[in-house]
Structure 1
Amino acid sequence: MVKRYDRFEALKGVSLEVTAGQLVALLGPSGCGKTTLLRTVNRLVEPSEGTVYLGGRDVRGLDEVELRRGIGYVIQSIGLFPHMTVLENVMVVPRLLGWNKTRREPRAREMLALVGLEPALYAHRYPRQLSGGQAQRVGLARALAADPPVLLMDEPFAAVDPPTRERLQDEFLRLQAELQKTVLFVTHDLEEAVKLADRIGLMNMGQIEQYDPPSELLGHPKTEFVRGFLGPARTLLRLSRLPLEGLIEPLGPRSPAVQIPQTAMAREAFSSLLAHGGRELGVTDGNGQVIGVVRLETLLQAASEEG
Structure 2
Amino acid sequence: MIRFENVVKRYGDFEALKGVRLEVAEGQLVTLLGPSGCGKTTLLRTVNRLIEPSEGTVFIGEQDVRQLDEVELRRGIGYVIQSIGLFPHMSVLENVMVVPRLLGWSKEKREARAREMLALVGLEPQTFAGRFPRELSGGQAQRVGLARALAADPPVLLMDEPFGAVDPPTRERLQDEFLRLQSELKKTVLFVTHDLEEAVRISDRICLMNSGRVEQYDTPEVLLRSPKTPFVRDFLGPSRTLLRLSRIPLNDLIEPLGTHRPAVSIKRSATARDAFSLLLANGIRGLAVTDEGGQVVGLVRLESLLTAASEEEP
TM-score band, normalised by shorter chain? over 0.9
1:181 maps to 187
Aligned residue in 2 for 1:2: 8
| 1:283 paired residue number | 289
Q: Would you say how many aligned residue pairs link Structure 1 and Structure 2?
A: 307
Aligned residue identity for 2:132: Y
- Give CA-to-partner distance per residue, 1:90-147, whole Å, 9 cap, x none: 0000000000101000100110010011111110111011110000000000000000
Q: What is the percent sequence identity of the aligned residues?
A: 79
Q: 1:243, CA displacement in angstroms? A: 1.4
Unaligned runs of 5+ residues in structure 2 are 1-6
What is the correspondence of 1:213-252 to structure 2 with a 5 Å cutoff?
Answer: 213-252=219-258
Deviation, structure 1 residue 286: 4.9
Letter matched to residue 101 of structure 1: K
Task: Please state how far the C-alpha of 1:46 moved relative to its aligned partner.
Answer: 0.7
Q: Map 1:169-208; keep pairs closer than 5 Å.
A: 169-208=175-214
What letter matches 1:63 in structure 2? D
Q: Residue 28 of structure 1 is aligned with which of 29, 34, 39?
A: 34
Q: Which amino acid aligns with 1:55?
A: G
TM-score (norm 2): 0.95
Q: One-letter code of the match for 2:128? A: Y
The 3-state SS of whatever aligns with 1:283 is strand
* SS of 1:11 mapped into structure 2: strand
Whole-angstrom CA distance in 1 between matches of 2:255 and 2:141: 46
2:32–2:206 Cα contact (<8 Å) kept: yes
Structure 1 position 32, deviation (Å): 0.2
Q: Which secondary structure does the structure 1 equivalent of 2:214 belong to?
A: strand
Is contact 1:2-1:46 (8 Å) kept?
no
For residues 20-73 of structure 1, give each alpha carbon's deviation from its aligned partner in whole angstroms, at most 9, with x where no partner exists.
000000000000000000000011111111111101111111111000000000
Q: CA deviation at 1:261?
A: 2.3
Give the aligned residue type for 1:147: D
Q: RMSD over aligned Cα, in angstroms? A: 1.1
- The one-letter code of the counterpart of 2:282 is H
Tell me whether 1:83 sits opposite 2:89 in the alignment. Answer: yes
For residue 284 of structure 1, report the CA deviation from its aligned partner: 2.0
Distance 1:145 1:241 in 2: 31
Question: Partner residue of 1:56?
Answer: 62
Report 1:32-51 matches (<5 A): 32-51=38-57
- Counting strand residues as a fraction of each chain, which structure ranks higher? 2
In 2, the alpha carbon distance for the partners of 1:220 and 1:61 equals: 39
Secondary structure of residue in 1 paired with 2:86: coil
Is the CA contact 1:153–1:183 (under 8 Å) kept in the aligned structure 2? Answer: yes
Contact 2:9-2:18 at 8 Å conserved across structures: no
Q: Give the SS at the match of 1:210.
A: strand
Counterpart Cα distance in 2 of 1:98 and 1:287: 51
Distance of 2:291 and 2:106 partners within structure 1 = 51
Distance in 2, matches of 1:82 and 1:285, equals: 48
Q: Are 1:28 and 1:187, in contact at CA under 8 Å, matched by a contact in 2?
A: yes
1:287 shift after superposition: 4.4
Cα contact 1:85–1:123 (8 A) shared by 2: yes
Counterpart residue number, 2:300? 294
Counterpart residue type for residue 274 of structure 1: L
1:253 aligns with 2:259: yes
**Structure 2 counterpart of 1:61, one-letter code:** Q
8 Å CA contact 2:10, 2:54 repeated in 1: no
Alpha-carbon distance, 1:4 to partner:
4.2
**Pair 1:103-2:74 in alignment:** no
Which residue number in structure 1 is paired with residue 122 of structure 2? 116
How far apart, CA to CA, are the structure 1 residues paired with 2:119 and 2:79?
Answer: 19
